[in-house]
Amino acid sequence: MSENEGDAGQRGDSVDARPLWGTRPSEAPDATNKSGGKKAKPGAKAVPADPYRYRMDYPNMGTCVIINNKNFHPRTGMGLRNGTDLDAASAMQTFSKLGYKMKMANDQTVAQLQSLLYNVSQEDHSDSASFVCVLLSHGDEGIFYGTDAFVPLKTLTELFRGDRCRTLVAKPKLFFIQACRGTELDGGIEMDSVSHQSSAKIPVEADFLYAYSTAPGYYSWRNTSNGSWFMQALCEMLQHYSSKLELMQIMTRVNQKVALDFESASSTPGFSEKKQIPCIVSMLTKDFYFP
C-alpha cells in the first residue's frame, strides 16, 4: 500500500492495540420450515426446503449494529483510531444495501455498548433472517475496548446465545471484529509460484460466525487514510460476491485479499513490511446465501 498520513502526526499504517511498552501513546501505533430458498410465487409449485441452507424468506434481513470507537479516555493508554470512520461508513453502506436495518453508535463506553447490545438482543427478531454486528475498536486477545475500559468479547456476543435471544434461535448471528488480538507482528514469508439427523435441541452457541480481522495474538492493521485492511476487504468482497457466493466462500476471498494485497508502511521502527491474515471462526450450521 502507499504510505498515508498516520495517527498522531505519523505516516503510514497503524494497529488496533495497546501502545508498545516504553513508548508514549502519541508515538506508538494503535494497537423455524428451517432452511433456505426464496418465497414461492402465488400458484407456484412448492419446492422442498434445503436443510443445509438458512432461510432467507423472512420479511427482513435483520438488524446490523455498528460500534465505532475512535476516541479513548487517557487512562486506557489507547490512541486515536484515525481511519475508523471510513470503516464505519463502508460497513453502513454495504450492509444497508444488503437489506439490513442499520444502527450506528460512536465512541461507546463499556456500559453504553453493553446496554446497546443487550437492548438489541431483547428485541423481537421473529421477522428477521439474521443478525449482524460490526465491532470497530482497540482490542487484545479475547477483549474489546470501550472508550473508557475493556470488556471480554464473550460478554458482548453471549447476549445473542440461543438461551438469551430466543427470536434468533437457528438464525445466523454474524460478528465482524476489527481489533487487535495481541502484539505479535507477521513479517510474512516469500513463496514460490505455484446422513443428516434432526434434533429437538440445538447448542446455545450454534449459528454464530466470528470474523476476526487478524489471527490470535497478532496486531490488526488500520490505514489512517483508507481504513482498516480487513474492513476494506470485507466490504469490497461482500459488494462483489453477495449475490453469487455462499458466505464462507466470500470470507475466504476476504482472507486472500488481506493476505496478498496489503503490506504495512509505517514510520514506527520495525513496523514496516508486515502482513496480516484474518481469522474466521464459524459455528454456523447451514450455508448462508444473501437473497
Catalytic residues: 138, 180
Strands of the 221-223 sheet, one edge to the other: 13-15, 221-223, 227-228
DSSP string, the chain: ----B-GGG-BBEEESSPPPTTS-TTTS------SB-PPPPTTPPPPPPBTTB----SSEEEEEEEEE-----GGGTPPP-TTHHHHHHHHHHHHHHTTPEEEEEES--HHHHHHHHHHHHTS--TTEEEEEEEEES-EETTEEE-SSSEEEHHHHHGGGSTTT-GGGTTS-EEEEEES---SB-B-------------S---TTTTEEEEESS-TTB--EEETTTEEHHHHHHHHHHHHHTTTS-HHHHHHHHHHHHHHH----BSSTT-SS-B---EEEE---SB----
* Residue linked to cell 444495501: 97
Helix axes 229-241, 84-97, angle to 10 degrees: 20
